[in-house]
Amino acid sequence: MLKFLIRSVSMGLVTALLVLLAVPSLRQNIIPENLTAQPANNGDLQISFNQAVRKAAPAVVNIYSRQYKENDRTTLSTQGLGSGVIVSDKGYIITNYHVVANADQIIVALQDGRVAAAQLVGKDQRTDIAVLRIEGGNLPVIPLNPNYSPKVGDVVLAIGNPYNLGQTTTFGIISATGRSSISAGGIQAFIQTDAAINQGNSGGALVNTLGELVGINTASFQQATDLETYGISFAIPYQLASKIMEKIIADGRVIRGYIGIDGQDINSVTARLLGNEHIGGIIVLGLDPEGPAAKAGIKVQDIVLMIDGNKLNGRQGVLDLVTDLRPGTTVNVKILRDGKELTLPVNVGEDTRE
């Protein structure tokens, strides 16, 4: 019996090998196209992400922020260094707000040797996003995939210009997603990665192994102590950066909706008691007494279930949903109070906080 099993397995392996040799197209299902196995000098095989870098790197630019000297308004000096990503053939570039925050002039250097003065289309301090535009033909555009969803463990590459050494690529994985605790007020979710992001990398591209834009490199983790940290860096998700860019291009700034509530996710025990249809809601813990929600009758300890007909997905989902509401519009907010569901009309205000 054992000899029969061994003979059957051996014949199966030999048959599979012959099929792969005879039909090369089947090999693509075993070795992904983006991971190219290349023979090294010693005859071994090595995995390379060269194709991903070649697709993405030309669209990652160096950005130099220049300011007039304090006592001489006729002389400009370079004060800031960063990176940016060309995301449109119309010349739009996404970078970080802090890269160009105090700039009197912004110079963009492409990897093909071209240099251009950039127009500041708009900036948003809260998300640390700025949008620039340059003139030029045949501009390289980074591959974009709005359907890509970052997952922990995905391999990523950070491309930028650290310390003005020249374009550099570092390698790592996505360590975590949804890191909102590091942003001011916890209003923004970051991608955490162990790919090195140093000074000058800010505004550069975090890409996946297909060269597609995953996020905008922003910062490395800094503690209040003198202890150095390694392998903890953060990027703004491409989906958020793209949304902010569209708002800036349309209105010159980011217009955010505001209803004046804050809260926390319903825990698993409460969710089971309320029923599955209420999963994703939040318990109101903070309320602006002069805000739209308070004026509409919402109270602390109410459970918010739906906003404008949309089911909620936790605190971060509420923040994202409210931000996209247009000031001046009226939306229905469904709440649960003392076991009874209520629907209250709320007149959306504008969030003017920085």
Question: Is residue 264 pLDDT above 70, yes or no?
Answer: yes
What's the domain count of the chain? 3
Q: How confident is the model at residue 280 (pLDDT cuts 50, 70, 90)?
A: confident
Which member of 65, 83, 124, 128 is catalytic?
128
CA 319 from chain centre, in angstroms, equals: 16
Q: Does the residue 40 lie in any domain?
A: no
pLDDT score for 42: 57
With respect to residue 139, please indicate whether it lies within any of the assigned structural domains.
no
When the pLDDT of each residue in the chain is averaged and rounded to a whole number, the result is: 82
**Given 65, 83, 98, 220, which residue is catalytic?**
98
Residue finishing a domain among 101, 133, 165: 133
Do 160 and 191 reside in the same domain of the chain? yes
Cα–Cα distance measured from residue 94 to residue 346, given in angstroms and rounded to the nearest whole number: 34
Residue 326 has pLDDT above 50, yes or no: yes
Model-level pTM?
A: 0.77
Question: How far is Cα 31 from Cα 305, in angstroms, rounded to an integer?
Answer: 46
Q: Choose, from 65, 83, 202, 233, the residue flagged as catalytic.
A: 202
Segment 46-79, tens digit of pLDDT? 789 999 999 999 999 999 998 887 777 667 777 7
Active site residue 242: no
**Which of 228, 251, 274 is a domain's end point?**
251
- Structural domain range at position 246: 155-251
Read off the CATH number of the domain in which 269 is found. 2.30.42.10
**Backbone φ, ψ for residue 66 (5° rounding):** -115, 145
Rounded CA separation 163/156 (Å)? 21
Annotation marks residue 128 as catalytic: yes
Q: What percent of the chain has pLDDT over 90?
A: 47
Statement to judge: residues 262 and 340 lie in one domain = yes
Asked if the structure places residue 327 within a domain, the reply is yes
pLDDT for res 275: 64
Tens digits of residue pLDDT in 91-122: 999 999 999 988 889 999 999 999 999 999 99
Q: Is the pLDDT of residue 1 over 90?
A: no
Whether the per-residue pLDDT at 30 is higher than 50: the answer is no
Residue 29 lies in a domain: no
On whether both 159 and 119 belong to a single domain, the answer is no
The answer to whether residue 338 sits within a structural domain is yes
* 177 and 219 assigned to the same domain: yes
What's 183's domain CATH number?
2.40.10.10
As a whole number of angstroms, the distance between CA 85 and CA 290 comes to 41
Please indicate whether residue 149 is annotated as part of the active site. no
